[in-house]
Amino acid sequence: MLTAQVVKDWARESGADLVGIGNMERFEGAPLDSDPRYIFPEAKSIIGLGFRVHRGLYRGIEEGTFFAGLPSMGYANINDVYAPIALRGVGDLLEDSGYEAVLYQNTAVRYGTNRGTPVREGYPRPDVFLHFRIAAYICGMGEIGWSKVFLTPEFGPRQRFAFVITDAELEPDPLMEPGTLCDGCKLCVSNCPLDALPAEKAVTIPIEGREISWSDMDVERCSAGFASATAEYNPFLPDDFAEGIEKLRAMPPGPERTEMLKQYGGAWGLARNTPYSTAGWESYHHPGAICGARGCQRACFMHLEEQGKLSNKFRRPFRIRKPWKLDV
């Protein structure tokens, strides 16, 4: 018989570090264009697969000497190689048991979400965008931190996800109580090079009677900052991009900033078009991750490790030396 435990054991066998299961009712209240129940209306369960990002992949950025590890093995490899293999493994088990498996890979969104025309009255614009952090919460795998990065009890912010939507009815995992991992220390806010995380302004949604909140992140600042950081934290950044990023950090969202960004191809252009990211894109179809998630991940996991909140324990603390910063 196909039980939740059988699926979880098989998912781990297939390569997932983390597995959680949610029921589709938990998506009640989701915006139409982000409601996965429209992908498979008969679905009963969603299965979340989590893949750790090794702490060592932040080491080279922490030391300022090797920046390629995180984007290549921490993002591209998991998104496009490792997670798809595990997804297929779980898909095989479900479909060999007579159930259907919709395999939703991280980078599937690159085809463009919500850009198509609805095919039926009242239907969403395809492709439906599956909000991975909310889906991971719905699968009982942890909680969304103030940083808007998902936190698990095993690795804190250090993992990536993929999901399977299926008509197999499986026992759902309990939801985590908000504040179990994230204590609102706001180190993510103070350590973000682009000031992308407001300290107070929140986004809040209801899930099964709980209020789930995270910071109302400035997505443009984050998408440029994640890949390119700022001149102080990017040894590869050409001056013209440094100037653009400085303006992005200084200007509030609005038409003036949008106008300013046009010369760089938008915030994504500041992320994607630097020589470093262009090389990464050609090789891994992924930009750089020069920031090394200085606030939302590094500061966060160091804090959670210090508190002993994570089950993945290390023999030494992550930060060994005074952090480097370029004098610009």
**Binding-site ranges for ligand SF4 (CB under 6 A):** 145-147, 182-188, 299-300, 303
Residue 39 Cβ vs ligand SF4, minimum distance, rounded to whole Å: 29
Residue 47's SS3 state is strand
Residue 310 Cβ vs ligand SF4, minimum distance, rounded to whole Å: 11
Residue 104 Cβ vs ligand SF4, minimum distance, rounded to whole Å: 25
Q: Which residue has the tokens 């998408």?
A: 223
How many degrees, rounded to 5, is the angle at CA 264 between CA 261 and CA 268? Answer: 80
Distance of CA 130 to the CA centre of its chain: 12
Contact yes or no for 216/198 (Cβ under 8 A): yes
Burial of residue 287 (number of CB atoms within 10 Å: 0-12, 13-18, 19+): buried
d(CA 218, CA 186): 16
Q: Select 145 or 280, whichever has its Cβ closest to ligand SF4.
A: 145
Q: Select 129 or 146, whichever has its Cβ closest to ligand SF4.
A: 146
Beta strand spans in 29-69 (E): 45-52
Beta strand spans in 208-245 (E): 210-215
Contact yes or no for 105/162 (Cβ under 8 A): yes
Q: Select 214 or 264, whichever has its Cβ closest to ligand SF4.
A: 214
Residue 13 Cβ vs ligand SF4, minimum distance, rounded to whole Å: 31
Listed residue (300, 305, 292) closest to 67, CA to CA = 292
Residue 74 Cβ vs ligand SF4, minimum distance, rounded to whole Å: 18
Q: Select 55 or 272, whichever has its Cβ closest to ligand SF4.
A: 55
d(CA 47, CA 144): 17
Residue 305 Cβ vs ligand SF4, minimum distance, rounded to whole Å: 11
d(CA 49, CA 9): 12
Q: Select 183 or 211, whichever has its Cβ closest to ligand SF4.
A: 183
Q: Select 65 or 180, whichever has its Cβ closest to ligand SF4.
A: 180
Q: Select 35 or 305, whichever has its Cβ closest to ligand SF4.
A: 305
Residue 316 Cβ vs ligand SF4, minimum distance, rounded to whole Å: 20
Residue 6's SS3 state is helix
